[in-house]
Amino acid sequence: MCAGGEGKSAAPGARGMAPEVSAAAPEARGMAPEVSAAAPQPAVAPEARGMAPEVRAALVDLLCQLADDELTMGHRDSQWLGLAPDVEEDVAFSSIAQDEVGHAVYFFEALRQLGEDHPDALAFDRPPAARRNALLVERSNSDWAYTVLRHFVYDAWDAVRLRALTASRVPALAQGAVRMLREERYHLLHMETWVRALGQAGGEALDRLTAAVRAVWPDLGDLFDLGAHADTLLSAGVLPQPADALVRAWVAEVRPVFEASGIPWPGLPDPAPASTEVVVPGGAVVPGGAVVPGTGVVPDGVVVSGGRPVVFGGRRGVHTEALDELLGEMTQVSGPHPSARW
């Protein structure tokens, strides 16, 4: 799976996927309906099956980043159902959540084409240490200002990343990116509208938005991290733009909206450090990227770099307790009842 890029035999049948996504399975697992949303089927090119091991490992890791980001963000979106400021936003966030999870299914299917596990297992069965989502998307929703600001900066990054992937040498990535950009355009526009409205309202709305910027900004270096195989992704043409070029494109998307919304531009976020130490409660210190025994999660972890705290680790499998909580909620049916039917 994502932890090591080792291929696995595909499950003998779809274990809960909607018929549009895969054939009806003899053993449905009770997966949440939004994860079974229809998604276009990826077709990994024949040359991908014979690619060099290091390129395959890089491709698997990138697909896990893409899938885990979308699955996690989609689940956070779904948590606003019934709690959003108005009925229209209940509907909007539900629709966006369905889109995000549908994109995750596409990437999980691409992983299966490479010999990884079934999408159900990839979505529900992996421990936190095997997941490659950014820390930003696993954070709890907090208030509405944080939610829309986080979504806006994430959607801007996702759009930049997908645009780069349209030129990928892997057809499944290029074709999927073209389709997804049509939907992501509306996600980004929706969140931009909210950021502008809150900022231009001034008063408490702007204060909360500014506080959200302070909360989000330390997580951006981790969001922009392309993982342990970034050099291979670039040299093999899997992701044909380096991280610094993607970040510049992201700034070009985000900064004008901040300026129009009255939000002071905080400057470029710090990049994710290449070597860190993770300090965990109780005084134990483990190397960055290591796993805390028993959980696979760094509980309330603080990554120390150059004597000052930053956050780091999602792309390397080091996560916060927020992901543990989210996965517990996601697997309330599939966890205790792996053979459940619905």
CB 198 within 8 A of CB 261: yes
Better-predicted residue by pLDDT, 323 or 91: 323
Better-predicted residue by pLDDT, 275 or 171: 171
Position 298 scores a pLDDT of 39
Write down the mean pLDDT value for the chain: 79
Average pLDDT over residues 270-278: 50
Domains annotated for the chain, with CATH where assigned, are: 33-274 (1.20.1260.10)
Position 89 scores a pLDDT of 86
Better-predicted residue by pLDDT, 306 or 189: 189
pTM of the model: 0.79
pLDDT tens by residue, 43-58: 554 445 678 999 999 9
Candidates 36, 44, 75; CA nearest to 60 is 44
Candidates 32, 6, 13, 27; CA nearest to 118 is 13
Position 271 scores a pLDDT of 64
Whole-angstrom Cα distance, residue 34 to residue 262? 36
Q: How far is CA 210 from the centre of its chain?
A: 24
Average pLDDT over residues 219-241: 95
Position 318 scores a pLDDT of 85
Whole-angstrom Cα distance, residue 275 to residue 171? 34
Model confidence band, residue 24 (pLDDT cutoffs 50, 70, 90): very low
Better-predicted residue by pLDDT, 37 or 159: 159
Average pLDDT over residues 211-240: 95
Model confidence band, residue 90 (pLDDT cutoffs 50, 70, 90): confident
pLDDT tens by residue, 240-269: 999 999 999 999 999 999 999 999 999 987
Whole-angstrom Cα distance, residue 35 to residue 99? 10
Whole-angstrom Cα distance, residue 249 to residue 223? 14
Q: Per DSSP, what are the bridge partners of residue 303? A: 278, 310
CB 120 within 8 A of CB 111: no
Q: Is the pLDDT of residue 195 over 70?
A: yes
Whole-angstrom Cα distance, residue 165 to residue 176? 9
CB 232 within 8 A of CB 324: no
Residues in the chain: 342
Average pLDDT over residues 154-179: 97
pLDDT tens by residue, 25-35: 333 333 333 33
pLDDT tens by residue, 283-301: 344 444 443 333 334 334 4
